[in-house]
Amino acid sequence: MHTRYRTLIWATVVLTFCVVVLGAYVRLSDAGLGCPDWPGCYGKLTPLHAKDLIDEAHMAQPGGPVSLPKAWKEMVHRYFAGTLGLAILAIAIVAWRQRRTLAQSPALPTGLLGLVIFQALLGMWTVTLLLKPFIVTAHLLGGMSTFALLVWLALRQSRTHFMPERPRHPLRRWAAFGLLLVAMQIVLGGWVSSNYAALACPDLPMCQGEWIPPMDFRLGFHLHRELGMTPDGEMLPLAALTAIHWTHRVGAVIVFFVVGGIGLALLRTPALRGLAVAVLGMLLVQVSLGIANVAFFLPLPLAVMHNAGAALLLALMVALNLRLAAADLWETDRVPNLRMHGLPRV
């Protein structure tokens, strides 16, 4: 049972990563309204069944949000997301039915099930509320949270994340701080993407030829507004988009130095050296992708890879925090019954 349960969880981790990447691809290719209703496409199961209605909408607004290719992108994402929901339901059922055999609380799988249901609602609101930035960003964060929690659930199934030596206590706190910073940077990245502010600063390392360009933080970070509009219904000014992009850049610098410093510190611990190298490598890749997106004016493949890189860096930080926490439990022997199962407390 342990092996099959672990396999199911890891398969769901991979599926969730695919859903996150597909979601980024749909958003960045302007296909979020390819099917303007939910959960079907013009009430049909596939865009093929709704082809006449899609063609009619496309002819009425050429170059608009609706077209057959965009509809397929959106629906493929929905098919994957639906499959993910069923997989998480299966995990929750097994966790409850086999909770004694697995020696684990089913709280985390149950929470994941609730999260994926809420994700479905956010997906619906993303379409029905016409890509409102706050909803789109929340949908992205829900996907990233689902991925991170599934990684946590998968890693705790194996005793390989235990290490023979206990790291110093400050390292655990720094790792938790690094995870928080990465999560906050993902929030900022989602806000940049949902407001189409990725090219508000088209130059490097300055922004619009200045280190601190004209910015409007009040409008840029006002949550309750329509896409591209101010709360008063006027067009969102460039200064607001600049504030969004500039803040994300500053966040990237902070994450680079803090997480990079954590990774370098971990190199001194032999049992964590491999994980440290992975964190440092992913951090460098992610920063390089961010720079390349600006330098090459946001090509779709690089933009999607930047989203995928954020998910992978988040997963590595989750793994790091879980491993340090597990090492602490292992050394202090506060829960001796968990040694027998090789499992941390839920």
Q: Tell me which of 56, 74, 210, 331 is the catalytic residue.
A: 74
**Spatial CA neighbour of 199 closest among 292, 274, 282:** 292
Residues 48-70 pLDDT 10s: 999 999 999 999 999 899 999 99
Confidence of residue 327 (pLDDT cuts 50, 70, 90): low
**CB burial of residue 165 (10 Å; 0-12, 13-18, 19+):** exposed
Whole-number Å distance between alpha carbons of 320 and 324: 6
Token pair belonging to 188: 């900022």
SS3 state of residue 265: helix
Q: Are 69 and 63 in contact (CB under 8 A)?
A: no
- The mean pLDDT value of the chain amounts to 91
- Against a cut of 0.75, is the pTM above it? yes
Residues 68-91 pLDDT 10s: 999 999 999 999 999 999 999 999
Contacts of 61 (CB under 8 A, 6+ apart): none
**CB burial of residue 207 (10 Å; 0-12, 13-18, 19+):** buried
Residues 91-109 pLDDT 10s: 999 999 999 888 889 999 9
Whole-number Å distance between alpha carbons of 34 and 74: 6
Other C-beta atoms closer than 10 Å to the C-beta of 126 total 24
Convert 208-227 to b/e letters by CB count within 10 Å (16 or more is b).
Answer: eeeeebebbeebbeeeebeb
Mean pLDDT score, 207-218: 97
Which one is predicted more confidently, 3 or 202?
A: 202
DSSP state of 167: P
Q: Which pLDDT value is given to residue 15? A: 98
Residue 167 has pLDDT above 50, yes or no: no
Confidence of residue 269 (pLDDT cuts 50, 70, 90): confident
SS3 state of residue 82: helix
Mean pLDDT score, 23-38: 95
Residues 182-204 pLDDT 10s: 999 999 999 999 999 999 999 99
Q: Are 138 and 124 in contact (CB under 8 A)?
A: no
Q: Is 234 a catalytic residue?
A: no
Segment among 54-58, 239-243, 285-289, 332-336 with least mean pLDDT: 332-336
SS3 state of residue 162: coil
Whole-number Å distance between alpha carbons of 331 and 258: 27
Residues 149-158 pLDDT 10s: 999 999 988 7
Whole-number Å distance between alpha carbons of 145 and 54: 33
Residue 9 one-letter amino acid: I
SS3 state of residue 41: strand
Place of tokens 């001796």: 336
